[in-house]
Amino acid sequence: MSHDAHPYIGFEEYSERVPQSIPLAVQQATDRFVGGRAARVAELPQWEELRQIGSDIRLHTIENMDVYLTRLEEKVKLAGGHVHWAETAEDARRIVLQIAKAHNVKTAVKSKSMATEEIGLNHALGAAGIEALETDLGEYIIQLAGTGPSHIIVPAVHLKKEEIAALFSEKLDIHAPADPIELARIAREILREKFLDAGMGISGGNFLVAETGTLVMVTNEGNGRMCTTLPDLHVAVVGIDKVIPDWESLTVFLKLLARSATGQKLSTYTQFITGPRRAEGESGPKEFHLVLLDNGRSKVLKDPVGREVFKCIRCGACANVCPVYKNVGGFAYGWFISGPIGAILSPQMLGTQTARELPYASTLCGACADVCPVKIPIPTILRHLRRRVAQGDEFAGPTLPAPIRVTASIAAFALAQNRLYRFGTRLLPLLMSIFKRGDWIPNAPYPLNRWTKARPLPPFTAQFRGWWNVRSSKRKDSAR
């Protein structure tokens, strides 16, 4: 196995357990992002062209990933950094732990990183007696709450300020008011000391520029700079999919990313980190380690349709416009990346048995593909993964439950035999009339009982064919 065994992701079950407060909080926040994005996009007449260029570069990189990763490794080493290849999550955790132990690290400060969420790094560090402290405000909040992130760029998007205040009061044993500025001040005060104490800074990375071996970090709070410059040791854990060819490509992605994510022209901080500090007196850590995480990515790269998921630059715009995500929040997706991109990533990385419900967690409305800054054909990949779930793939047979497959087989048979279908069309209105109450069918039998859970079904009329025949024969008669 190239990944840790992950528990089954029961989207339906999880989505039904979502507290009412989550959709409301998520709706408010995402509406703000959607509005901001639209305004920034409208300012750029060449937006569609930029998306196409971004998509082309990412596709080219995916197809030549070995070339760019080799170049990246060479350049990072040339700049004095260390490069580690982690084939699995377990490998990545072990590498980071080894580095930490070698430097006798007691406390590590972290800037926001989805890759370390993916490998569950905090837990591993904690188990080894090393305190790992999240310093992004959102991540700090969810670390206190003991949950994972519910949005790619806004990890605590599901919580309202009142809930955060209650959480701070409880966990920090203080009286925290429900005021965002005050809450940020409290967190900053606690974190400032930790920054100065920490023996290691851990970060992720938004891009890896192969041309110069540069780690690019796009952030808004300033904590990322503290994490990567104050401690003498900086370890970056980054998925291999984050590599891009050169600085010219980077200009495209920097234009696309902040606009799509937060509706900013550019994020507050854009850091370029090329190796450790060169000389005493320069800022930056003494040692720089880059852990390149595979964790199943190479396997996904072999699927020519599915691999386009790795064009993703993690802006979260797809989630912000997704009506399913907005109604269930991020936790229903069961892994570190939620929303439409999570629905196409998790089944590929964790396997279609573990995440077989996720490709179906979409109405295929297509809103995500419309806003994706790198034109990932999300509905196409969802359909592709549904095929793998329904028909089986190279790793497993069909994982869709047998009753659904049998129903589909019966439907397919009846729909392909037009005489049978036409017979059914005459029969159904009679059968279903048993369930008719007034103008509606309020409670239909299986499998339509799940439809009528939420709204009644209109009655089966199915009289067009008869009407047409009568009409046609009348016309023939009158023509005679």
Partner 1 sequence: MSKAQLFLTCLGDQFYTSTLQNMTHILERLGVELVFPPEQTCCGQPLFNNGFEDKTRPVALNFMHAFSRSDAPIIGPSGSCVSMVKHHYPSLFKAGTAEHDLAVDIASRTFEFTEYLVNMLKVTDVGAVYPHKVTYHASCHYLREMGLRTEAKTLLNAVKGLEFVSLHEEETCCGFGGAFTVTFPEVSRSMMQNKVRDIISSGADTVVTCEPGCLMNVAGGLHTAGSSIRAMHIVDLLSSKEELA
CB of 252 to partner 1, least distance (A): 25
Q: Exposed/middle/buried for 128, CB within 10 Å: 0-12, 13-18, 19+? A: middle
Per rule CB under 8 A, is residue 390 in the interface with partner 1? yes
Q: Residues 378, 356: contact at Cβ < 8 Å? A: no
456 near partner 1, rule: CB under 8 A: yes
Q: Is 11 in the site for partner 1 (CB under 8 A)?
A: yes
The b-or-e profile of 209-231 (16+ CB within 10 A means b, else e) is: bbbbbbbbbbbbbebbbbbbbbb
Tell me the closest approach of the beta carbon of residue 117 to partner 1, in angstroms: 24
Q: Which of 288, 310, 360, 435: binder of partner 1 (CB under 8 A)?
A: 360
DSSP 31-62: HHHHHHHHHHHHH-TTHHHHHHHHHHHHHHHH
Contact mark string toward partner 1, 18..47, x via CB under 8 A: -----x------------------------
Q: Which of 367, 371, 374, 381 binds partner 1 (CB under 8 A)?
A: 367
The DSSP letter of residue 347 is H
Rounded to the nearest whole angstrom, what is the least distance from the CB of residue 99 to partner 1 in the complex?
43
Q: Is 453 in the site for partner 1 (CB under 8 A)?
A: yes
Residue 454 binds to partner 1 (criterion: CB under 8 A): yes
455 part of the interface to partner 1, by CB under 8 A: yes
Does position 305 bind partner 1 by CB under 8 A? no
| Residue (2 or 425) nearer to partner 1, CB | 425
Q: Which is nearer to partner 1, 223 or 362 (CB)?
A: 362
- State yes or no: residue 411 binds partner 1 (CB under 8 A): yes
Among 167, 191, 386, 435, binds partner 1 (CB under 8 A): 386
- Pick from 278, 237, 260, 242: which is nearest to 84 by CA? 237
Which position among 35, 129, 323, 445 is part of the footprint of partner 1 (CB under 8 A)? Answer: 323
CA–CA gap between residue 454 and residue 474 (Å, rounded):
43
Pairing of the two strands 214-219 and 207-209: antiparallel
Establish if 468 lies at the interface with partner 1 (CB under 8 A): yes
Closest residue by Cα to residue 366 from 382, 346, 388: 382
Interface residue with partner 1, options 464, 476, 477, 479 (CB under 8 A): 464
Give the total residue count for the chain: 480
Q: Under the criterion CB under 8 A, does residue 363 sit at the interface with partner 1?
A: yes
**Could you tell me the smallest distance in angstroms from the CB atom of residue 412 to partner 1?**
4
Nearer to partner 1, 42 or 279 (CB): 42
Q: Is 431 in the site for partner 1 (CB under 8 A)?
A: no
Rounded CA separation 251/123 (Å)? 36
- Give the one residue of 329, 359, 373, 377 binding partner 1; rule: CB under 8 A: 359
Least separation in angstroms between CB 465 and partner 1? 6
Residue closer to partner 1, measured from CB, 38 or 127: 38
The DSSP element (H or E) to which 219 belongs, if any, is strand 214-219
234 lies in the site for partner 1, by CB under 8 A? no
**Binding test (CB under 8 A) with partner 1, winner from 39, 127, 415, 430:** 415
Residue 463 interacts with partner 1 (CB under 8 A)?
yes
Least Cα distance to 159 among 146, 172, 450 occurs for 146
Please state the closest distance from residue 422 (CB atom) to partner 1, in A.
7
Smallest separation, CB 382 to partner 1 (Å): 9
462 binds partner 1 (CB under 8 A): yes
Task: Single out the residue of 141, 378, 341, 357 nearest to residue 261, CA to CA.
Answer: 341
Question: Could you say which of 1, 181, 416, 434 contacts partner 1 (CB under 8 A)?
Answer: 416
Query: What SS3 class is residue 19?
Result: coil
448 forms part of the interface with partner 1 (CB under 8 A): yes
Q: What Cα–Cα distance (Å) separates residue 378 from each residue in 152, 154, 442?
A: 16, 21, 35
Among 458, 470, 473, 475, binds partner 1 (CB under 8 A): 458
- Give bridge partners of residue 215 from the DSSP assignment: 208, 273
**Secondary structure (DSSP) of 434-446:** TT-BTTBBSSPPT
Say how many C-beta atoms besides its own lie within 10 A of residue 135's C-beta: 28
Least distance (Å) between residue 328 CB and partner 1: 6
Please select the residue that binds partner 1; options are 16, 48, 74, 170, rule is CB under 8 A.
16
Verify binding: residue 324, partner 1, rule CB under 8 A.
yes
Rounding to the nearest 10 degrees, give the CA dihedral for residues 99, 103, 107, 113.
Answer: -30
- Distance separating alpha carbons of residues 312 and 329, to the nearest angstrom: 20
Backbone dihedral angles phi then psi of residue 172, each to the nearest 5 degrees: -100, 0
Tell me: does residue 370 bind partner 1 (CB under 8 A). Answer: yes
Which H or E run includes 383?
helix 378-391
- The encoded tokens of residue 199 equal 């023996």
Measured distance CA(28)–CA(316) in Å, rounded = 15
How many residues line the site for partner 1 (CB under 8 A)?
62
- Contact set with partner 1 (CB under 8 A): 11-12, 15-16, 23, 323-324, 327-328, 359-367, 369-370, 383, 385-391, 400, 408-409, 411-412, 414-418, 421-422, 425, 428, 440, 447-448, 450-451, 453-465, 467-468
